[in-house]
């Protein structure tokens, strides 16, 4: 990638390798240009760099210095909004990129901007305009250096997405707390439900925060469960008829406009009328028969010839 001293557009946030224009650097060539980026967190915009260094060297000299720094992987350039941004690359980070091809860096930068949502091969092909075999080769190189990693998408098990090696995948990719190695962890959920039921039953009533504290103190989970995660567990118990939920509005001061922001406290307690897991009707074949509405004594489907009823009576 090179800078044109005449000024203009730059590569977009996907890290595209098109020609960019305009920049600034301090006197002293590439070394001076690198020092011009020192102390900037999150990079420095092109106009800010030009203003800071404009009286030190010409536009041509600045562009030449920055092109040299880009080739040496000492700075990175990307687009933020409508502005070009230059960011210094630290030595330990630059060492990871030493010897990478232009295509490798292009793929890396596109994946970098995808964040923890990751990006799959089809999207990378569209954004990089590289053929799939070339992208696959870049994957192998970047994965070998532990710069990127592949992660399975729980929603589409046949699709892998790529993200930076040190990133934690988003919940949309991994499925969140309820998935272990991309598999729905039924055993873990059942244990949580059982222990939360026992805790709620041991109290008159509890809040969601108290249930969360119980899970943490009991070390039931090796990962940190968010409030929404705990709420899903408690709501499951409510839907199963094992727990009742009530709202306490006694803390409402009734002072007009403030009422709009008031949220009643929810309490969870043992269900007064638990929903039975089964009854006499569900234990006979008729209780779960999908064609019961078509069953009649003189019909094609009837109790006399029903093999399921016969087997149940003989049991």
**67 token code pair:** 């092109």
Helices (H) and strands (E) counted in the chain, each on its own, are 12, 11
Looking at the domain assignment, is residue 224 inside a domain?
yes
Same domain, 194 and 260: yes
Residue 268 forms beta bridges with which residues?
A: 206, 245
Q: Can you tell me the distance from the alpha carbon of 80 to that of 89, in angstroms, rounded to the nearest whole number?
A: 17
Q: Is 148 helix (H, G, I), strand (E, B) or coil?
A: strand
The residue behind tokens 């960011």 is 87
For residue 135, the tally of other CB atoms under 10 A from its CB is: 19
315, with CB counted inside 10 A (0-12, 13-18, 19+), is exposed
Same domain, 164 and 221: no
Q: Can you tell me the distance from the alpha carbon of 12 to that of 143, in angstroms, rounded to the nearest whole number?
A: 24
Looking at the domain assignment, is residue 217 inside a domain?
yes
Looking at the domain assignment, is residue 279 inside a domain?
no
Looking at the domain assignment, is residue 21 inside a domain?
yes
Looking at the domain assignment, is residue 96 inside a domain?
no
Residues in the chain: 315
Domain endpoint, select from 91, 120, 136: 91
Roughly what angle, to the nearest 10 degrees, separates helices 186-201 and 227-239? 80
**So what's the pLDDT on residue 243?**
94
Domain count along the chain: 4
With the C-alpha atoms ordered 217, 221, 223, 225, is the resulting torsion angle positive or negative?
A: negative
Looking at the domain assignment, is residue 142 inside a domain?
yes
Looking at the domain assignment, is residue 278 inside a domain?
no
Same domain, 192 and 235: yes
In terms of DSSP bridges, do strands 183-184 and 179-180 run parallel, antiparallel, or are they unpaired?
antiparallel
Domain endpoint, select from 91, 123, 138: 91
The CATH code of the domain that includes 159 is 1.10.10.10
Looking at the domain assignment, is residue 244 inside a domain?
yes
Q: Evaluate whether 11 touches 78 at the Cβ level (below 8 Å).
A: yes
Domain endpoint, select from 143, 174, 205: 174
Long-range contacts (CB closer than 8 Å, 24 or more residues apart) made by 75-80: 75/33, 75/34, 75/37, 76/43, 76/109, 77/1, 77/10, 77/11, 77/20, 78/11, 78/13, 78/15, 78/43, 78/109, 78/113, 79/10, 79/11, 79/12, 79/13, 80/13, 80/43, 80/45
Task: Give the domain extent around 241.
Answer: 183-270
For residue 176, the tally of other CB atoms under 10 A from its CB is: 16
**So what's the pLDDT on residue 261?**
64
Per run of 10 residues, the mean pLDDT along the chain (length 315 residues) is 45 41 41 50 78 80 83 76 80 79 88 88 90 93 92 79 89 81 85 95 94 92 89 94 86 54 86 78 82 90 90 83
**So what's the pLDDT on residue 213?**
94
């Amino acid at each position: 990638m090179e800078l044109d001293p005449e000024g203009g557009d730059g590569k977009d946030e996907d890290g595209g390798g098109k020609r960019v224009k305009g920049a600034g650097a301090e006197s002293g060539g590439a070394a001076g240009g690198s020092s011009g980026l020192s102390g900037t967190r999150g990079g420095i915009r092109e106009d800010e760099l030009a203003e800071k260094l404009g009286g030190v060297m010409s536009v041509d000299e600045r562009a030449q210095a920055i092109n040299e720094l880009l080739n040496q992987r000492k700075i990175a350039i990307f687009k933020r909004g409508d502005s070009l941004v230059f960011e210094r690359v630290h030595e330990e980070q630059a060492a990871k990129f030493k010897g990478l091809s232009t295509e490798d860096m292009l793929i890396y930068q596109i994946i970098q901007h995808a964040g923890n949502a990751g990006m799959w091969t089809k999207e990378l092909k569209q954004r990089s305009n590289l053929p799939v075999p070339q992208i696959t080769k870049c994957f192998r190189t970047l994965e070998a250096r532990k710069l990127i990693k592949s992660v399975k998408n729980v929603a589409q098990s046949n699709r892998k997405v790529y993200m930076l090696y040190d990133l934690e995948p988003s919940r949309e990719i991994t499925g969140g707390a309820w998935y272990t190695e991309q598999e729905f962890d039924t055993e873990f959920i059942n244990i949580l439900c059982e222990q939360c039921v026992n805790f709620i039953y041991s109290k008159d009533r509890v809040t969601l925060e108290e249930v969360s504290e119980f899970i943490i103190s009991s070390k039931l989970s090796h990962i940190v469960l968010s409030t929404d995660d705990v709420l899903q567990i408690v709501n499951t118990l409510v839907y199963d008829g094992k727990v009742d939920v009530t709202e306490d509005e006694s803390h409402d001061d009734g002072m007009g406009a403030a009422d709009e922001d008031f949220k009643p406290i929810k309490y969870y307690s043992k269900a007064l009328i638990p929903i039975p897991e089964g009854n006499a009707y569900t234990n006979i074949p008729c209780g779960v028969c999908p064609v019961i509405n078509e069953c009649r004594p003189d019909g094609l489907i009837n109790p006399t010839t029903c093999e399921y009823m016969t087997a149940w009576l003989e049991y």
